[in-house]
Amino acid sequence: MPNKVPSKGTALLMEISSVYTAFPQITSLNISGEKAETFDSSTLDGSAHKTKTHTGYIDTATITGECFYDPDDTVHAAFITLMRAPAARNFKVTYADATPLSEIYSGCGYGFDKTASPGDGLKGSFTIETSGAPS
């Protein structure tokens, strides 16, 4: 039976020197965009309902999220360094359920925006474009 697994306890881990390292102070995490691609295969002599066909490709997921940004934090600094000198890097997402889940995304494109506003803490907004199939 499916369980209601809480969002609380979800963590994003970034591979640094083979060790998956927790991305600190995350306030939200979103993994979206993974989708089987289709094309419109309707023909003039087809039926009234349009048809769609699988292209054979799958759009990869993009990981986005927000965190409290700490300029002195080693992992935040490592992520920004990676953004400025991009290279393939694995990211792992863990959930608050009992059995460790292996869900690994290969990151290839990165973004990090910083926001300072009087009514809030210093915030960071990160984007990780992934490549290939998650494993």
Partner 1 sequence: MQAALNLDQFCDTSKLTPELAELVSWIPGKSRDGQAVQIAVYRKGTVFSGPMALQLCRTGQASPADAECAEAVGMTPQELEVLRVDYEMNAKGINDKGDRELYRAGVILGYNADLSYQPGPNWDKYNAAKQQLQETEL
Q: How many residues bind partner 1 (CB under 8 A)?
A: 38
DSSP reduced 3-state for 82: helix
Using CB under 8 A, pick the residue from 23, 79, 110, 126 that binds partner 1: 23
Q: Which two tokens stand for residue 64?
A: 């986005």
Using CB under 8 A, pick the residue from 52, 55, 81, 103 that binds partner 1: 103
Give the CA distances from residue 38 to residues 33, 52, 58, in Å, rounded to whole numbers and listed in that order: 14, 6, 9
Q: Verify binding: residue 5, partner 1, rule CB under 8 A.
A: yes
Q: Verify binding: residue 59, partner 1, rule CB under 8 A.
A: no
DSSP-assigned letter for residue 100 = P
Q: Please say whether the beta carbons of 38 and 53 come within 8 A.
A: yes
Q: Verify binding: residue 10, partner 1, rule CB under 8 A.
A: yes
Total count of residues recorded for the chain: 135
Q: Please say whether the beta carbons of 56 and 113 come within 8 A.
A: no
Nearer to partner 1, 45 or 72 (CB): 72
Q: Verify binding: residue 21, partner 1, rule CB under 8 A.
A: yes
Radius of gyration (C-alpha) of the chain in whole angstroms? 19
Nearer to partner 1, 46 or 132 (CB): 132
Using CB under 8 A, pick the residue from 38, 74, 81, 131 that binds partner 1: 74
Q: Verify binding: residue 117, partner 1, rule CB under 8 A.
A: no
* CA 7 – CA 45 distance, rounded (Å): 49
Q: Which residues bind partner 1 (CB under 8 A)?
A: 3-6, 8-11, 13, 15-27, 74-75, 90, 92, 94, 96-104, 134-135
